[in-house]
Amino acid sequence: MSITPYRSVLANQAARRALVLGILLRIPIFGTGVLLMLHVVEHLDRSWAEAGLVSAVATLAIAVSGPWRGRLLDRHGLRKVVAPSIVITGSCWAVAPFVGYWPLLFLAGLAGLFVVPIFSIARQSVIAAVPLNERRTALSVDGVGVELAYMSGPAVAVWAGHQFGTAITLFALQMLGVVGGIVLWLLDPSLREEGSATADAAAQIPRSEWFRPAFVGLCLAAAASTLVLVGSEVAVVAGLRQWGESGSLGLVFAGWGVGSILGGLYYGAMSRGLSPYFLLAGLALVTAPMALADSALTVAGLAVLAGVFCAPTITASVEAVSRVVPAAARGEAMGWHGSCMTAGSALAAPLVGMVIDGHGHQSAIVLVCVLGLVVALAGAAAAALVRSRRSQLIPAH
C-alpha cells in the first residue's frame, strides 16, 4: 500500500484542518449517547427503558435535522447555520444535565434538532479542499477519523462520568462541542469546490433534479450498512453476556475499530474505487461468520475481518453521493445520507432485540447480514439497469 496519496492530502492545509475539526467535533456526539443513558439511570435513578427513550428522542431529532440543516447550508452558508446551533445547543446543554427527567427529554430533543451538522460540513469541506483525484483518499481519512472518534468518545465519556459524575461530565462534553462550533464558525471552511455553483444557485436547483433512484439507492445502502454494523454489535453484546464474558467487550470493539481503520486506509490508497453495493455485500458476507463464534476471543478475531469493510463501505457511499448530486445541493444530500445511516442504526437495535429474545443472537447476526446482502444485490442490479438504459439512449456514431 502506497502512502503517497495520503502525503498529498495531509499536506493540504485546508483538508488537514477540516479533518482535525471533524474528529474533534464528532467526539462529543459519539460520547454523549452512552453518557446520556448512564446519566438517566445513575443520576436520575430511572429505568433503562426511560434512558432509551431519551436516547431515541435525541437520535430521531438529529436524523430529522440532517436534510433540513443541510439545505440551509446550501442556501445560506456555514456561518448562518452554525451560529444558531451554537446558541441553542449551548443553552440547552448548559441546563439539561442539572434538571429532571422530562425537562431533559425536551432539551435533548431540541438540542438534537439544532445540532451542528458536523457530518455534512466535515465531508463537504474535505471534498471542497482536494482535487477530484484525491477525493476518495481524503474521504477515507475522514472515515478513519470517524472511527477514532467512535472508539474514543464513549470510552472517555464513561470514564469521566464515573470519575466526576455524569452531570458535570455531560455539561463539560457539550461545552467542548460548543467551543468546537465557535472555532468552526471562525474558520468558516469552504463547502464547495472553487468555481462551483454559488449559494444563490442552490435555491434554484429543484430537488427533482438529483433526488432520483441513483441517490435513493445510495441512501438505502447507507442505511443497510449501519443496520448490519449496529445490529451485529448489539447481537455480539448479547452473545458475550450469554457466555459470561461481558468484560471482553472492549477487546471485541477494539478489533472492529482496528479492522475498520486498516480497511479504510487501504481503500483510500487504491487507484480506483469500488461500488458501494459491492462493499456492502462484502460487509454482510464477512460479518455473517460471527454467528458461528462461541467465545469472546473468536468474536474479536472475526471482528477484525468484519471491520475491514466498515470504513470503505461508508466512504464509497459518500463518494458516490458527491458524484450524483450537484455541488450546490450537496449539503442537503449529505444530510439525507447521514439521516439514513442514523435510521439504519436506530432500526437495528429493536429489530435485533426482538430476534435475540425469540431465536438467539446468532440468528440476529444472520438476519441483518441477509438484509444487507439483499439491499446490496438489489442496488447493484438497479444501477446496472440504469447504466444499460443510458447506453441505449446514446446514439451510435
Q: Give the other-Cβ count within 10 Å of 294's Cβ.
A: 10
| DSSP notation for 273-289 | ---HHHHHHHHHHHHGG
CB 107 within 8 A of CB 94: no
261-284 average pLDDT score: 91
Q: Report how far residue 187's alpha carbon sits from residue 169's, in angstroms, rounded to the nearest whole number.
A: 27
Q: Which three cell numbers stand for residue 348?
A: 437495528
Give the confidence band of 80 by pLDDT, cuts at 50, 70, 90.
Answer: very high
3-state helix, strand, coil in the chain (%, to 5): 85, 0, 15
Q: What is the mean pLDDT of residues 337-354?
A: 84
Write the CB contacts of 172 (distance below 8 Å, at least 6 apart in sequence). Answer: 160, 164
- Looking at residue 3, the DSSP 8-state letter turns out to be -
Q: With a cut of 80, say whether residue 28 has pLDDT above it.
A: yes
Q: Which of 20-29, 84-93, 258-267, 272-281 has the lowest mean pLDDT?
A: 20-29
Question: How much is the pLDDT for 277?
Answer: 95
- Report for 38-47, 64-73, 156-165, 166-175: range of highest mean pLDDT: 166-175
What pLDDT is recorded for position 251?
A: 85
User: How do residues 206-218 score in pLDDT, each as one tens digit?
Assistant: 788 888 888 999 9
Enter the DSSP assignment of 40: I
For residue 199, pLDDT over 70 is answered with no
Q: How many residues does the chain have?
A: 397
Taking residue 146's Cβ as centre, other Cβ atoms within 10 Å add up to: 23
Q: State the Cα–Cα distance between residues 70 and 90, nearest whole angstrom.
A: 20
The confidence score (pLDDT) of residue 195 equals: 58
More confident site: 258 or 207: 258
Task: Please say whether the beta carbons of 191 and 202 come within 8 A.
Answer: no
Helix axes 118-129, 135-164, angle to 10 degrees: 150
Average of per-residue pLDDT values in the chain:
86
pLDDT at 95: 96
Q: How confident is the model at residue 122 (pLDDT cuts 50, 70, 90)?
A: confident
Provide the pLDDT confidence category of residue 119 given band limits of 50, 70 and 90: confident
**In contact, 86 and 133? CB cutoff 8 Å:** no
Query: Who contacts 129 (Cβ-Cβ below 8 Å, separation ≥6)?
Result: 12, 14, 15, 18, 138, 189, 190
264, three cell numbers: 479504510
Give the whole-number percent of the chain exceeding pLDDT 70.
94
Rounded Cα distance, 187 and 51, in Å: 36
pLDDT value at residue 197: 53
Type of residue at 47? S
* Rounded alpha-carbon distances, angstroms, from residue 209 to 202, 214, 392: 12, 11, 21
Query: What is the set of domains in the chain, with CATH numbers?
Result: 1-204 (1.20.1250.20), 209-397 (1.20.1250.20)
Position 232 pLDDT exceeds 60: yes
Q: Which residue has the higher pLDDT, 190 or 56?
A: 190
For 87, the grid coordinates are 446558541
pLDDT for 101: 94
